[in-house]
Amino acid sequence: MIWLTWRQLRVQTLVAAGALAVLAVMFAATGPQLAHLYDTTVATCGAHHDCQTAVSAFMSQDSFLQKLTNFVMQVIPALIGAFWGAPLIAHELEAGTHRLAWTQSVTRSQWLAVKLGLAALASMAAAGLLSLMVTWWSSPLDRVGPGLLDPGVFGERDIAPIGYAAFAFALGVTAGLLIRRTVPAMAVTIAGYAGVQVAFSLGLRAHLIAPIRAVSSLSLGRATSMAITTPGDHLSLGVTPSLPGAWIYSSQVTTASGSTNLGTAPQSCLPGSSTIHACNAAIGRMHLRQVVIYQPASRYWAFQWYETAIYIALALALAGLCFLWARHRLS
Amino acid sequence: MTGAVVLTARGLGKQYHRRWALTDFTLDIPAGQVVGLVGPNGAGKTTLLHLATGLLQPTTGTIEVLGGRPGASRAQLARVGFVAQDTPTYSGLTVADHLRLGAHLNPGWDAGMARDRIERLDLDPGQRAGKLSGGQRAQLALTLAVAKKPELLILDEPVASLDPLARREFLRGLMEAVAEQGISVVMSSHLVADLERVCDYLIVLVGSRVQVAGEVEQLLATHHLLTGPRRDTAGLPAGQEVISASHTDRQTTLTVRSGTAILDPVWTVSPVGLEDLVLAYMSRIPDTRRKPALEVQR
């Protein structure tokens, strides 16, 4: 059975290995240079007092490869689901070859276990290898970027892609088994996977761990925006908290009593009057507070494990459904 | 009959969604024979054979093949060879790959026999199965089924999509394998001509009921074609069962089953061909409480 599974998946496996090898060469060719650049520009920028220029110059390095890895990491699980998962059984059902396979001297469960197990391992290994390369290559960039918990980065590093690949693959197999036709199963797999991904990154992930709610007195040095709206000279302040690598859900400025309505702006802040210092001092006398709800950078690995475990649990549930279905509902 | 059976069905039924493909089906198939299962499309032939290979599970009743529950274990699977309808093979795999597949998946695989058959059939081992002709593909599927050394070989309309020459080649290949190994065979077809050449036992299945079952020789010996002046069939002596009747203005033609010779001088008695016999049973009203054939036929 192992031989047959390998023989049937040989082409896809070799294509995937080839694609991984090409990416590996690209990463190997540019990665050390990227790390060297980081060490010589960004790491030492403090001495030249010009970190902003150094960081933005560094961030635009290898921008093509950055975009490519971004894209590849987003589509790889869907492709695994559509091209490894969906045809795995749907193709047999379409061609009628399952009747050939199931009347050899192997039980249906054995047949499914070997096929599903080997192809799932191959999917997870491919995604894991890719993620390993991407994580290594982008590590200098990630040090100056928005942090690993950023929704645009989180799912493209470390172990989460392994969970995605396992889930997308299992979704593909299940869709193929239930729909019994390869092409519609591929479409359903891609749509279903994209839906779950969107649900996760837009909503579910934020609720995996209760966020921290930090209240501190407002320090105006970090205030990045101030707006005074007319009529009423209403004051509003926007502050970027200084929490490197944190995933910030919300950041608000409130009054001492906790109201988000800051009231009217002090006289010294109105246009055409006084100086910035006088305005700052006046706002300081209001005793405003800054309320930040966030996940600290230190929770990155907890989130990675949670997310990977949930996706793998979903994959296992789908695999269980496949076994039940294959045993009782297929002929 | 020797008494040994390869297949026993008791009150067997299979329901797909709302439709019953087989209901209250009871049958014994004797061992050591080449059994033909014939019936119109939709009679339940494929369902019965899929139940016998374990591809399907019965909704009601029981089925035993070679004394075991079909598909229940590897050992049971190894005892039954199956060639499915349209003889599916892996189109991307070569002929040699299929033999390797058979060797990997069957403990009793006879590699020498498989290779011999492929050689005799003049199949190129490096050829992909998808590039084979229908006849060659059927032969490959048959090779896989016989080289696993089954005790019972089940074939579901194996020649339905083949041209007459490929049909004959396939049946010859089947008979060679049967003669070499002495295995029991159950083979379905909706064409009697295919079965006539190879079968020594025949089962006619219509509307999920067995209309008649028996050894071909005996069936031919006990069925007669009667031709005579037009008359009602009610007056036939006991022991003579009318299977079918057709009437013209002046003449009546009957297919009659009778254990004894027909002596009535009114009739011209001639032997029935297997095809006519089967057709007579197939055109019978599947209701067991049939009215006299004459009324029905009018």
Contacts of A3 in chain B (CB under 8 A): 100-101, 104
- Give the contacts of B282 (CB within 8 A, at least 6 positions apart): B39, B40, B204, B206, B211
Q: Amino acid identity of B48?
A: L
SS3 A241: coil
B296 has pLDDT over 50:
no
User: What residue in B sits closest to A326 (Cα-Cα)?
Assistant: B55
Spatial separation of the C-alpha atoms in residues A129 and A28, rounded to whole Å: 14
Asked if B28 contacts B62 with a C-beta cutoff of 8 angstroms, the reply is no
The tokens describing A313, both together, are: 């649990």
Dihedral pair phi/psi, residue B160, rounded to 5°? -55, -35
User: What residue in B sits closest to A328 (Cα-Cα)?
Assistant: B57
In the prediction, which pLDDT does B297 show?
Answer: 35
The tokens describing B55, both together, are: 């591809």
Is A7 within 8 Å of B97 when comparing Cβ atoms?
A: yes
Q: Which of residues 92-111 of A touch B (CB under 8 A)?
A: 95-97, 99-108, 110
Is B108 within 8 Å of A106 when comparing Cβ atoms?
A: no
Closest CB to A4: pick one of B88, B104, B145. Answer: B104
B238/chain A closest Cα distance in angstroms: 46
Using the 8-state DSSP alphabet, how is residue A104 labeled? S
Is A106 within 8 Å of B100 when comparing Cβ atoms?
A: no
In the prediction, which pLDDT does A241 show?
Answer: 80
In the prediction, which pLDDT does B3 show?
Answer: 66
Residue B118 Cα distances to A85, B82, B84, B127, B149, angstroms: 34, 18, 19, 12, 16
B268/chain A closest Cα distance in angstroms: 50
Is B82 within 8 Å of A106 when comparing Cβ atoms?
A: no
Of A35-39, A295-299, B290-294, where does mean pLDDT reach its minimum? B290-294
In the prediction, which pLDDT does A274 show?
Answer: 66
Using the 8-state DSSP alphabet, how is residue B128 labeled? B
Dihedral pair phi/psi, residue A118, rounded to 5°? -65, -45
User: Euclidean distance between the first and final Cα of chain B, in Å?
Assistant: 39
Beta bridge partners of A291: A215, A252
Banded model confidence at residue A287, pLDDT cuts 50, 70, 90: confident
Using the 8-state DSSP alphabet, how is residue B130 labeled? G
Banded model confidence at residue B253, pLDDT cuts 50, 70, 90: confident
Size of interface A-B (CB pairs under 8 A): 78
User: What residue in B sits closest to A107 (Cα-Cα)?
Assistant: B74
The tokens describing B93, both together, are: 């795999």
- Give the contacts of B158 (CB within 8 A, at least 6 positions apart): B83, B85, B87, B138, B141, B142, B170, B174, B187
B108/chain A closest Cα distance in angstroms: 9
A8/chain B closest Cα distance in angstroms: 8
Q: What is the largest CA-CA distance in chain B?
A: 67
Closest CB to B84: pick one of A4, A100, A105. Answer: A100
In the prediction, which pLDDT does A222 show?
Answer: 54
Is B84 within 8 Å of A1 when comparing Cβ atoms?
A: no
Contacts of A95 in chain B (CB under 8 A): 88, 90-91
Is B84 within 8 Å of A106 when comparing Cβ atoms?
A: no
Is A105 within 8 Å of B84 when comparing Cβ atoms?
A: no
Residue linked to tokens 């909706």? B190
Q: Amino acid identity of B30?
A: P
pLDDT in tens, A178-195: 999 999 999 999 999 999
Residues of chain B contacting A, Cβ within 8 Å: 50, 53-57, 71, 73-75, 77-78, 80-82, 84-86, 88-93, 97, 100-102, 104-108, 141, 144-145, 148
Q: Which of residues 62-81 of A touch B (CB under 8 A)?
A: none
Is B93 within 8 Å of A7 when comparing Cβ atoms?
A: yes
Closest CB to A105: pick one of B53, B84, B148. Answer: B148
Contacts of A97 in chain B (CB under 8 A): 88-90
In the prediction, which pLDDT does B139 show?
Answer: 92
Highest average pLDDT, of A325-329, B67-71, B188-192, B243-247, comes from: B67-71
Q: By 3-state DSSP, what share of chain B in percent is helix, strand and coil, each rounded to 5?
A: 35, 30, 35
Spatial separation of the C-alpha atoms in residues A44 and A245, rounded to whole Å: 20
The four Cα atoms A113, A117, A118, A120 give a dihedral, to 10 degrees, of 140
Asked if B267 contacts B218 with a C-beta cutoff of 8 angstroms, the reply is no
Q: Amino acid identity of B188?
A: S
Model pTM score = 0.87
- Please tell me if residue A329 touches chain B, with a CB cutoff of 8 Å: no
Q: Look at residues A121, A87, A92, A120 and name the one whose alpha carbon lies nearest to residue A104.
A: A92
Q: What is the ipTM of this complex?
A: 0.86
Asked if A169 contacts A315 with a C-beta cutoff of 8 angstroms, the reply is yes
A175/chain B closest Cα distance in angstroms: 20
* Cβ neighbours, 10 Å, residue A93: 19
Is B105 within 8 Å of A106 when comparing Cβ atoms?
A: yes
β B251-258/B268-271 pair status: unpaired
The four Cα atoms B130, B132, B136, B137 give a dihedral, to 10 degrees, of 10
- Could you tell me how many helices (H) and strands (E) chain B has, helices first? 10, 13
pLDDT in tens, A46-95: 777 777 888 888 888 888 888 899 999 999 999 999 999 999 999 999 99
A89/chain B closest Cα distance in angstroms: 13
A151 has pLDDT over 70:
yes
Cis before A231? omega within 30: yes
SS3 B226: strand
Beta bridge partners of B206: B209
A20 has pLDDT over 70:
yes
User: What residue in A sits closest to B57 (Cα-Cα)?
Assistant: A328
SS3 B246: strand
Banded model confidence at residue A14, pLDDT cuts 50, 70, 90: very high
The tokens describing A241, both together, are: 């908290």
Closest CB to B88: pick one of A99, A105, A108. Answer: A99
* Cβ neighbours, 10 Å, residue B216: 18
Q: What is the mean pLDDT of residues A278-285?
A: 79
More confident residue, A117 or A241: A117
